[in-house]
Amino acid sequence: MGDPGRLSRRGLLGAALALGGAALAGGCGRESSDPLARLRSGGDVVVGLSGERPFGYTDGSGRPTGESPEVARAVVAEIGGGGLIAVQVAFDQLIPDLLDGQFDVIAVGLTVTPLRCQQVAFSRPDYVASTALLVPAGNPLGVATLAGVRRAGATLGVLRGSAEQEFAYAAHIPADRIVTFDSQGALVRGVAAGEAQVGALTRIALLDEVRRNAGIGLEVTAGFTPEVGGRRVAGAGAFAFRPGDAAFRAEFDRGLTALQESGRWLEIARPFGFTEHNLPPRDLTIDELCARTPES
């Protein structure tokens, strides 16, 4: 199979169909290159996924699901769109493939960082969540933060291109002690196999992995807030759009805000392990997150 990041428009539809995400009545899935115009005419939105549970993945039938796709599905329905089509790629290809036009929006709970803010346009914050560490049962190294990983001289597993990789560098963990993995599942298996002594990821994701892999011999530490440049960083995820799709992002933002304020967001997100504590404060903005405003 060729590079998923270089699919043609026709190849994109083929990949989406293979994933079972096609509701392409009348071929409406990609009739318009303007996502908002397409949705308003009853078409579909194409979401980029990377198999990250519980944020954004495809189920056994190929249906896009997880917190982010389900929230996106509700917003799309309010705009008038038909539904979602999923294209799944490696995590570190999500932003390049979005910018290359392979899909309309990244729906994997992408953590907002200043570097990413220079590349994509984020929606309003979709959720807030802490970072945690994945360690062998009993936490033999006694680590609880990235600074603790550095002091222990341990190897740290992260997703390639992830916010946690950025946080690890900010914590001055040497590059030769950072082990990168292509997927969330590979990260968990790598820690279990000893390829890395510790793993770092959003706590919600790690708890989900350990729950689904009973007997794997791993546990998740308490959540913590990473530091960058001596400041605590409020962890938040959002939907990512191409900078040129400003009207689409603005309309999506209106729908997302309405879901959060009505209580529907929590109804949608709760089955994936989210609680009211993950609902972003109303006054938390993307501008603040992009500027690395310290956590209040």
DSSP strand pairing (44-49 vs 57-58): unpaired
* Full residue range of the structural domain in which residue 159 is found: 131-232
173-221 pLDDT, tens digit per residue, is 999 999 999 999 999 999 999 999 999 999 999 999 999 998 999 999 9
CB-side exposure of 290: number of CA atoms within 13 Å?
A: 15
25-69 pLDDT, tens digit per residue, is 333 334 558 999 999 999 999 999 998 899 999 998 889 999 999
Asked if residue 50 and residue 19 are part of one domain, the reply reads yes
DSSP letter for 29, please.
G
Asked if residue 147 and residue 117 are part of one domain, the reply reads no
Q: Which H or E element spans position 19?
A: none
Asked if residue 98 and residue 16 are part of one domain, the reply reads yes
Asked if residue 226 and residue 189 are part of one domain, the reply reads yes
Asked if residue 228 and residue 265 are part of one domain, the reply reads no
* CATH at residue 167: 3.40.190.10
125-136 pLDDT, tens digit per residue, is 999 999 999 999
Q: Which residues contact 171 (CB under 8 A, 6 or more apart)?
A: 145, 146, 147, 149, 150, 226, 227
Q: Which of 232, 258, 277 corresponds to the end of one domain? A: 232
Asked if residue 244 and residue 226 are part of one domain, the reply reads no
Asked if residue 219 and residue 281 are part of one domain, the reply reads no
pTM for this model (two decimals):
0.82
Q: Which stretches does DSSP call E strand in the chain?
A: 44-49, 57-58, 64-65, 83-88, 105-111, 121-122, 127-128, 131-136, 156-159, 178-181, 198-202, 218-220, 227-228, 231-232, 236-241
DSSP strand pairing (236-241 vs 105-111): antiparallel
Asked if residue 241 and residue 123 are part of one domain, the reply reads yes
Whether cis (ω within 30° of 0) applies to the bond prior to 54 is yes
Q: CB neighbours (10 Å) of residue 181?
A: 21
Asked if residue 150 and residue 119 are part of one domain, the reply reads no
Residues in the chain: 296
* Residue 58, both tokens: 């495809």
Band of pLDDT at residue 292, cut at 50, 70 and 90 = low
Q: Is 296 domain-assigned?
A: no
* Residue 97, both tokens: 């493939």
Q: Which stretches does DSSP call E strand in 17-104?
A: 44-49, 57-58, 64-65, 83-88
Least confident of 12-16, 177-181, 188-192, 269-273: 12-16
The sign of the torsion formed by the CA atoms of 278, 283, 285, 290 equals negative
Answer yes or no: are the C-beta atoms of 64 and 86 closer than 8 Å.
yes
Asked if residue 243 and residue 195 are part of one domain, the reply reads no
Q: Which residues contact 44 (CB under 8 A, 6 or more apart)?
A: 23, 24, 28, 29, 38, 76, 81, 82, 83, 84, 85
Answer yes or no: are the C-beta atoms of 158 and 168 closer than 8 Å.
yes
Asked if residue 21 and residue 166 are part of one domain, the reply reads no
Answer yes or no: are the C-beta atoms of 51 and 183 closer than 8 Å.
yes
